[in-house]
Structure 1
Amino acid sequence: MNETMQTLFSWLHVDTLTEFWWVVFGLAGQLLFTCRFLVQWIASERERRSVIPIAFWYFSLGGGLVLFTYALYRADPVFVLGQSLGVVIYARNLWLIHAEKRGV
């Protein structure tokens, strides 16, 4: 392994290439999670009122699932518990939105 990769591994607190890819996976989940705030903020600014578009819930669910999976890999019970409840809430909100559109 070259010096640049050793520095990167050290900075990310990983020892193996597998751990490195898990960190990349976790960062991707965090990016999805961050996108939901941007989507909500832009939609609210356009409407000049608080708006939660459906994309917010999809980004929430996607980011939550990725972060939940990452937390399971890292075996972090606090992180697992924190993400698990959110995933249920995001999925339920999407279910309610789609049920309303179907007229159920």
Structure 2
Amino acid sequence: MLVAFSHGLADYLWDVFIARFDFWLAFGVMAQLLFTARFLVQWIASERAGKSVMPMAFWFFSVAGGVMTLVYGLVRREPVIIMGQALSVFIYVRNMMLILKERG
């Protein structure tokens, strides 16, 4: 049973990540990596400050990753991704506008 499961899992992973690899999959992976980078930037900045902070780089990665993920969702016709990112990108840009306004 375990062998059948692991073989089925291997087939699934091969199909999803290797057999279907194309430009848009690479684009989507890059978008996800940008989202990961924003969390790393925020974590490092918070550790250095000794408190929770949101550096401007967090919002740049958020906008870049959000726009790329939205484009990926539109191209792949993924309604869940489209709905999730359409509003998120607006919120990320708005946060950047508020930060820049505060800085004067």
Q: Answer whether TM exceeds 0.5 for this pair.
A: yes
How do 1:2-81 residues align onto structure 2 when only pairs under 5 Å count? Answer: 10-12=15-17, 14=20, 20-81=22-83
| Per-residue CA distance 1:53-102 (angstroms, 9 max, x = gap) | 00000000000000000000110111100011110100000111112223
- Residue 100 of structure 1 is matched in structure 2 by 102
- Residue 87 of structure 1 is matched in structure 2 by 89
Distance 1:46 1:21 in 2: 37
How many pairs were matched up? 91
- The alignment's C-alpha RMSD in Å is 1.7
Distance 1:76 1:30 in 2: 15
The SS at the match of 2:54 is coil
CA, structure 1 residues 9+72, in 2 after alignment: closer, same or farther (shift >3 Å)? farther
Distance 1:62 1:98 in 2: 18
Distance 1:9 1:65 in 2: 28
State whether residues 72 and 80 of structure 1, in contact with CA within 8 Å, keep that contact through their aligned partners in structure 2. yes
- Note the C-alpha offset of 1:9: 7.3
Distance 1:67 1:56 in 2: 16
| Per-residue CA distance 1:24-54 (angstroms, 9 max, x = gap) | 0010000001000000000000111001100
